[in-house]
Structure formats: C-alpha cells, structure tokens
Structure 1
Amino acid sequence: MDVMDLRGLNPAPVTVFTQDGGVDHEANAKLAKWLVSVEGVKSLVCLGHAGEGTFLTTEEQTALIETLVEAVGDQVPIIAGITGEGTEVAAKEAKRAADAGAVGALVYPSHGWLRFGYQAGAPQERYRAIHEESGLQSILFQYPDVTKATYNLDTQLEIASQPGVVATKNGVRNMKRWDTEIPVLRREHPDLQILTCHDEYLLHTMFDVDGALVGYGGLAPEPLVDFIQAGKRGDYAAARAIHDRLLPLTKVVYHRGSHMEGTVALKLGLVERGIIPTATVRSPLIDLPDEARIAIREALQAAELA
C-alpha cells in the first residue's frame, strides 16, 4: 500500500447528529463530499475531538467510518482517531477501523497519561500493537506541553522510527519546544510528514510543516489550503493576510473558556455556511448561547465565508 500523502490540509470534521441525537449518515456523507471537493484536502480524520469520537458507541464509530469511506471513494484516505484506554483495547479498535475501510490511525495517548504520565516505552508499545493488529498507517499525536501525555523528544524519535508511522500531528503548544524539536524530527526522519494542529494560532507553525491536521479545516477549508501554500512558499505577507482575515472567526471558535467548546462552534459555523442541517452535540458538550451563533455568523462574513 502506498504511504498516505498528507502534504496539505487534513480536516478533522465534526460528526453531524440528527436533532434527536442519532448519527446523521446522510449529512455526514454530504459534509465529507464537500470537504474533499476542495483542492488541497488530502484526507479526512474522523472520531477525534472535533468529531466527538469518544461520545460514539463502538457500533456508531464503525458505521461512521463506513459512511465516510463510501462517500469519498478513493479520492482521499479516511483516518480514524484511535482513543481506547488500554493497548489491547486500542489495537482492537484500530482493527475495527481497518475492517470498516480506514487507511490511517491518528493514535491518541492513553487518556490516563493526561493526568498521571506514562512509563518509558509504553507509548512505543501502543503504536507497535496498533500497527501489528490493524495494518493501519499511524500518525504520531503530540499532545500539548501542559499535559503529562506530551512525549519527550526521544519518545517521539523512537515512535517515528517504528513500522507504519508516516506522520506526526504536533500540537505541543510550546513554541520553544516546537522550534527545537521539529528540526530534529526532520533531520532524523526526513520522510516523516510534519502536520501542525495548532488551530487557534497557526501562523507561527505554518512555515515548518508539510500540512495541517485541524478541526478548523472542517469549517474553513478554502482559506486554510491557501494558508498552507503560503507557508510552503515562505510568503509571510500572504500568510499573515489570511491569518488576519480569519482571526475574528478563530476567536469565536477557539478563544473560549474550553477548547472543547470549539466543537460546538464549528457546528454552528457549518450550519451558518449551509453545509450541515443541525448543530446538535452530545453530552458532556453543551449548546452555546444565541450570542455565539450571531458572533459566528458575523465572523464568517468577515472571513468572506458567508
């Protein structure tokens, strides 16, 4: 199998629900088809934070992957977020995703590590087991520096050297570490695709990457494709202009009390754009007030997206 080419925009779309809370497969297929119609979109990444992946049952997760695979055909690979807590649980989750047609795995850290940290060697074993069980191509997910699930440089390098690991989604959110660790990853693993996931401040990271894997790409794919291309050209002025045009939208989606509120805001924005029919979310997410809907509409207009 060819290695996934993720050098561009890799949206992590929301999961659309019906008004009564069920997975709306027709609406999810429509969203997927719209996203892949944008030139420069290289994959779709489902079942992550933006997609409320851990709020879906096992059966719903599998059915959603099947829907997206059918919707996009062979245009782009479908990548599944793998979030299971234990290594064996995660490996079986990845096997189900592969059987449903996924090509890639965005491998989340075991969530207990967020609070308690991880033992040396445990992350490497997680990636090994997932690849051996499923055959999926893996994306190394670097969590924010403020969590205990962030991987030190040696751990990142060791994971990147393992079979099946083709990219890293780096959201360290510590620019000192970004500026020192990304060059080492580049030097030691020149084929590893570097993807930013800093939705709320992309400008700094856009000049060091092959692409972006962001929930933001599910709402504003067109300017983000241009943003990535400007970064690859080293055209700061063009990148800054896109950043500034998007900033009002960035603020109303991501500069909130909780980053998870961004998922609710993404759905409201997609309703305003006429892409999805409802902004229904699942608990523990909570609907945003009407003022947020109005602010998102105005920000979309400012960004020339509505």
Structure 2
Amino acid sequence: MSAPLTDRLRGIHAATIVPMTEDFRIDEAALADHIASVSHTPGIRGLLVNGHAGENFVLDAAEKRRVIATARAVAPAECLICAGVNAESSLDLAREAAAAEAAGADLLLVFPPNSWALGHDAECVAIHHRHALAATSLPLLLYGAPVGAGAMAYGAATLERLAAEPRIIGIKDGSWEVAAYEANRRRLLALRPDFAVLGSGDEHLLTSYIIGSHGSQVSLAALAPALLAAFYEAASGGDWARARALHEAIYPLSVAIYRDAPGGRATARIKAGLRRLGAIPCDAVRPPQPAASAAERQALDQAMLAAGLLEESLVR
C-alpha cells in the first residue's frame, strides 16, 4: 500500500529547470538528463516541474505536457511529480490541469495569475481553484506568493477558505518572509493538522525548518540536490549543528541566485550554474530574460566554490 500523498510530500522536492538550445527550443535530451540526474539523487523525494524555475510562463501547452511526460518517464517510480499550472484565464487553467493529469502528474501546484498582483476580488481566487478542481481528479497545492508580490499573496481569510476544500492538501509557502511563513503555518495547521505546509523560501530554509516544515519545493535543489537533501536530513533529524554547517555552505549560493539585484533572475542563474558544472550544454533562457551576465557568473563561481560544488582551480 502506498504512503499517503501528504507523507510523500515530506523532504526535498526539486523545482527543475528546462534546458534550451541557443534558438530557445527545448533541448529534449538535456531535459531528460537533468530530470533523471536530479530525481535519482539520494534524498530527493519528488519534483516540481513547470514551476517558475521551469519557465512555466513562457512554455506553450504542448511543451508543458512534454516536460511532465519526460519527468514521469525518467524519474524513479516512487518520485512524486508535482506539476505547476499557471494561467491568467481559469478556463485555460482547467485545460492545463487536465492535460497535466493525463501526462502523468501526481498532484498540481496552482499559481495565482500574475495579473492578481495589481489587485483582484477575493472571489476570483475561489473561482480559479474551483475550475482546476473540476477539471481533474488530482489533489492541489496552493502557491503562497512572496509578500512583495503586490496583491498576489493570499490573506488569512482566503487561505482559510481554500484550506476548507479537502482536495487542497497543502501549500508551497513562497512568502519569502519568516513572519508570514510562521503565521500561515500556524493558521493552516490549526484548521487542518494534516495540511502540508512546505517551507519553500530558498533564502530562509534553516529558519523555516526550526519553526517547522513538512518539506520544501525548491529550485536550489535543481543545482545542488545532494547538498539540499543532506540539509533537510540533518534538520529533520534534529542535528542542528550539522544543519547549521550545511546552511553556511548553502547561504552564499542562495544569495547569488535569489537575492542579488536585479530580481527575477533565479532561473537564468541556476542555468548558468548548471552549465558551469557541465550538467547542461546551454544556459539560454527564453526572452525577455537575458542569459546570466559576466558579473552574475562570477558571483555564482564564488558561491559554488563555498558550497563545495566547484573546485578552486576552476574559479575565474
């Protein structure tokens, strides 16, 4: 008998990238190699495909299906495949949700439409998720947007309303703010003790694990899966000395990828890091994002050196 889905959400779930060719087509072979390499790393419990790191906002419907099908084909059978679904229209969201289930996803992460950052009626959120629920038999995860994402982040009343739906089983808390994460976690677990609250702010994972976390869906694990798996193992086992030591290795990497200005550059930087390590042949990202700059690459070199991913003799 398989473990309950919420149990399978424990641990590190890598948010993978989509390697592309220089003319911005998906590199199918590199995609399969990347997903296989990450998913077979000991300690990686699952994958988030078609998330922000996977450039879900610039992939078409057929490409998203291929990414999911590739993940299902090359990942271990026990690897949980969560597919991000991201659409401005609820009707498009429903089609995307149904296609993700047909392609082999185990559950869906529903992203709030980008237009919501400018403001929206609270009923919009309920309607959007109802369309996803009606289109598929899969369970859903909520996406807790960053507190700096305007009105996109869900308020307390909205979270409570969504969590009342039994097929919504958890949240990827990407609030990127420790106080908001703890408040959301306490609120949701008070309503549903079985609710999976995933502390998934790559820059403050240690703090999230001290507060408590069901697991994490993080793009750092696409670049350094073994390091992130070891970190979670130490934290979940209460070995805080080892967790703190691993955090010291991870922290410079998280800063170079997520915090250094300008914002919104994580995917380009992760791809540049993977290419530097020889894990993908090309680090192109789809327009309008440019590839990593020389300064970004230099910062990544130093961070990967500190994390033990890159040898000192190779650092520029």
Name the TM tier (shorter chain). over 0.9
The answer (yes or no) to whether the contact 2:221–2:228 under 8 Å persists in 1 is yes
Match of 1:77? 80
Determine if the alignment matches structure 1 residue 171 to structure 2 residue 174: yes
SS across alignment from 2:217: strand
Within 1, Cα distance between the matches of 2:239 and 2:279?
31
Superposed CA deviations along residues 246-302 of structure 1, whole A, max 9, x for unmatched, are 222222211222332111110011112221111111111111222322332232122
SS across alignment from 1:217: helix
Determine if the alignment matches structure 1 residue 288 to structure 2 residue 292: yes
Match of 1:268? 272
Distance verdict in 2 for CA 1:52–1:129, change over 3 Å: same
Q: How far did 1:73 drift?
A: 5.1
In structure 2, list runs of 5 or more residues that go unmatched: 311-316
The answer (yes or no) to whether the contact 2:16–2:53 under 8 Å persists in 1 is yes
Within 2, Cα distance between the matches of 1:50 and 1:191?
28
Match of 1:101? 104
Query: Which of 230, 233, 249 is the aligned partner of 1:229?
Result: 233
Number of residues paired by the alignment?
A: 305
Query: Which of 32, 36, 41 is the aligned partner of 1:38?
Result: 41
Moved over 4 A (4+): none
Within 1, Cα distance between the matches of 2:177 and 2:292?
29
TM-score, normalization: structure 1? 0.93
The answer (yes or no) to whether the contact 1:253–1:261 under 8 Å persists in 2 is yes
Distance verdict in 2 for CA 1:127–1:163, change over 3 Å: farther
Aligned residue runs from structure 1 range 233-252, under 5 A: 233-252=237-256
Aligned residue runs from structure 1 range 197-216, under 5 A: 197-207=200-210, 208-216=212-220
RMSD: 1.8
Determine if the alignment matches structure 1 residue 184 to structure 2 residue 187: yes
Within 1, Cα distance between the matches of 2:66 and 2:52?
18
Match of 1:110? 113
Amino acid at match of 2:132: I
Task: Give aligned-pair identity as a percent.
Answer: 29
Within 2, Cα distance between the matches of 1:250 and 1:236?
19
Match of 1:125? 127
SS across alignment from 2:79: coil
TM-score, normalization: structure 2? 0.91
Determine if the alignment matches structure 1 residue 66 to structure 2 residue 69: yes
The answer (yes or no) to whether the contact 2:94–2:135 under 8 Å persists in 1 is yes
Match of 1:87? 90
Q: How far did 1:111 drift?
A: 1.9
Within 2, Cα distance between the matches of 1:242 and 1:184?
30
Amino acid at match of 1:286: P
Within 1, Cα distance between the matches of 2:118 and 2:105?
30
